[in-house]
Amino acid sequence: MIKPRTPTGVMELLPRDQIAFQRMLDTIRQTFERFGFLPVETPVMELSDVLLTKSGGETERQVYFVQSTGALEKQAEGLPELALRFDLTVPLARYVAEHEHDLAFPFRRYQMQRVYRGERAQRGRFREFYQCDIDVIGKDSLSPRFDAELPAVIAAVFERLAIGEFTIQFNHRKLLRGFFEGLGILGEAQMLVLRELDKLDKRGADAVRQTLAGEGFGLAADVIEQLMAFSQVRSQGHNDALAKLDALGEGTALFNEGRDELRTVLAQLKALGVDERRYALNLSIARGLDYYTGIVYETTLNAYPQIGSICSGGRYENLAGHYTKSKLPGVGISIGLTRLFFQLQDAGLVATADSSVDVLLALLDDAGLEHALALSQRLRAAGLNVETQLEPRKLAKQLQYADKAGIRFVVMRGGDEATRGVVAVKDLRRGEQFEVAEAEVASALLVEREQLRSAAGKA
């Protein structure tokens, strides 16, 4: 007999934890739609030559290839025809290039699907996980005004998720590159320095300083100190962010362009009514990926910095350059929800949910089955989620079942209740029982459910 077990690096939840996860997905989806984003789903498999637009590198070493048993028997040379997507950005690029003439630009899309990476098995690292992405894609150009809308979406998402205080930290690649130009750091050296500065929060200032002075960099001590001072700029509050930008002084044309775009973003965030406690400058953020060209974002939970970024992204100039001659600039963010949910559970910030079933309709004897079925349908028609016991058991067993399953209300109708035209309702949350006229039980339970939801929303 084979021992039942799941592969490492996947998250498989019990039903009530799955409900909690699904509610987070629903909240994110609803918020994305409120900001006018449209849903897209792409196949879990892409053609390998389309997915792997660059040869070699870390990404290709983490790709899962898909091969039929027939193809295995043929032992074809080269890569398998199909591969599982490793993020949602490459499939988006292919999607926009393929459907370019059918889409309305700027194209505002959200996508919430599983992706697959051959991560080394360890706690908190997943090989199958949900990403929740939004992107705005322009045709030929895309105004920097869209750069401010995404932090407003991020703020709305995490306020509705109610997982604690958070800060959306941002920087600008033009500001960084312009600053490097002023220090004489040019060409490919800029990207190498960018990647090192992006590790400041993980490695610490001393380690980064030593790397920049060592082999492969060899930067002068005064240049390193200017880089470190620049990277340690942080803001607290809207006016402080503007003041910190002003204090940087004048720089190269690229530096000034990046600073002006950040000022525009700050002005729009204020106009959007985003709480100034929710955003801050952090000039150490670079986002290591090469394709970011403008603003970059990272969002952290204030009380749990060890969790790292819970939402990140930025501006890029040419999303689909491998697939079309059209220039398709965009800006986007991504929430790695599986990892976030796992870490929030570990930190005690996400609890096991109550069942999505509102009511268990108990069955005391076979004679009451037809009435129980009819009453269940009336409760469902009123908007309640109902499970009906289809075989009679001892009442204590039915109550134990409901409690273990997380169902709050149990409706019971014995001979005495039937004679009087009432039902008994057991509230397992409060440990109370009350009677209500059968004709009014649906409205009574709906009121109780809404009171519970309101109380949960205020908690």
Last residue of a domain, one of 61, 83, 105: 83
Residues 179/251, Cβ–Cβ less than 8 Å: yes
Domain that holds residue 273: 15-39+84-346
In a domain, 7, yes or no: no
Residues 151 and 65 in one domain: no
Number of domains present in the structure of the chain: 3
Give per-residue pLDDT as tens, 378-432: 999 999 999 999 999 999 999 999 999 999 999 999 999 999 999 999 999 999 9
| Separation of CA 442 from chain center | 36
Residues 166 and 284 in one domain: yes
Residues 212 and 72 in one domain: no
Q: Residue-wise pLDDT tens for the chain (459 aa)? A: 999 999 888 999 999 999 999 999 999 999 999 999 999 999 999 999 898 875 445 666 789 999 877 766 666 667 788 999 999 999 999 999 999 999 999 999 999 999 999 877 777 789 999 999 999 999 999 999 999 999 999 999 999 999 999 999 999 999 999 999 999 998 888 888 888 887 887 788 889 888 998 888 889 899 999 999 999 899 999 999 999 999 999 999 999 999 999 999 999 999 999 999 999 999 988 876 667 899 999 999 999 988 889 999 999 998 898 899 999 999 999 999 999 999 999 988 999 998 999 999 999 999 999 999 999 999 999 999 999 999 999 999 999 999 999 999 999 999 999 999 999 999 999 999 999 999 999 999 999 888 877 766 544
The pLDDT value given to residue 111: 98
Structure tokens at 302: 């204030």
Residues 75 and 93 in one domain: no
The pLDDT value given to residue 319: 86
- In whole angstroms, give the CA distance from residue 161 to residue 48: 36
pTM above 0.85, yes or no: yes
CATH number reported for the structural domain that contains residue 437 in this entry: 3.40.50.800
Give 414's DSSP letter. -
Residues 396 and 335 in one domain: no
CA distances for 10 relative to 128, 129, 130, 265, 303, angstroms: 5, 7, 10, 38, 27
Name residues whose C-beta falls within 8 Å of residue 134's C-beta, 6 or more positions apart in sequence: 32, 35, 37, 108, 109, 110, 111, 150, 153, 332, 333
Give 139's DSSP letter. S
Phi, psi of 44, rounded to the nearest 5 degrees: -65, -25
Residues 93/320, Cβ–Cβ less than 8 Å: yes
Residues 293 and 170 in one domain: yes
- In whole angstroms, give the CA distance from residue 307 to residue 164: 13
The pLDDT value given to residue 248: 94
Residues 54 and 182 in one domain: no
Residues 150 and 115 in one domain: yes
